[in-house]
Copies of this chain bind each other. A is one copy, B any other.
Amino acid sequence: MLSKKTKYGLKALTYLALQSKREPVQISEIAEHENISQKFLESILLTLRNTGFLGSKKGKGGGYYLLKDPSEIHMTTVIRVLEGPIAMVPCVSLNFYEKCDDCPDENKCAVHKLMLQVRDSVLEVYRNNTLADLISE
């Protein structure tokens, strides 16, 4: 299940990407337009800022804005930041690998074999999608 954090984060990113001008947009505007709890969205935008996707400006006329072009924002990185590992089990994770303590031999493990394929196919989808792809007609 996709967390609301990721869902809301993606929606906020697309909202910012759809702005005609690259000017700061207030949290409240995004929250209202996308039907998101403002306080919850605050924390999400903060992590998107701390991970280099967004810039921010304080005070009147402040808000958040994209730091890169939507075509430069890949779903692999967005998902990893918001949702965590893409793999469904740590033993097939590229960036968060961890051995199963119960499994004596990964190469003979059916779960491993299946989840490797799932990881690869999901990864390909994320690699083929940037923020620009998601907002295009």
Chain B residues whose C-beta falls within 8 Å of the C-beta of A129 in the assembled complex: 114, 117
**Does more than half of chain A's interface fall in helix, strand or loop, or is it mixed?**
helix
CB proximity to B under 8 Å, residues A6-29: 7, 10-11, 13-14
Q: Are B118 and A125 in contact (CB under 8 A)?
A: yes
Q: Are B125 and A10 in contact (CB under 8 A)?
A: no
Question: Does A44 have its Cβ within 8 Å of any Cβ on chain B?
Answer: no
Q: Are A10 and B134 in contact (CB under 8 A)?
A: no
Q: Are B102 and A2 in contact (CB under 8 A)?
A: no
Q: Are A10 and B135 in contact (CB under 8 A)?
A: no
Q: Are B102 and A36 in contact (CB under 8 A)?
A: yes
Question: Whole-angstrom distance between the alpha carbons of A135 and B111 in the complex?
Answer: 10
Question: Does A54 have its Cβ within 8 Å of any Cβ on chain B?
Answer: no
Please list the residues of chain A having a beta carbon within 8 angstroms of any beta carbon in chain B.
1-2, 7, 10-11, 13-14, 34-36, 75, 85, 88-89, 102-103, 109-111, 113-115, 117-118, 121-122, 124-126, 128-129, 131, 134-135
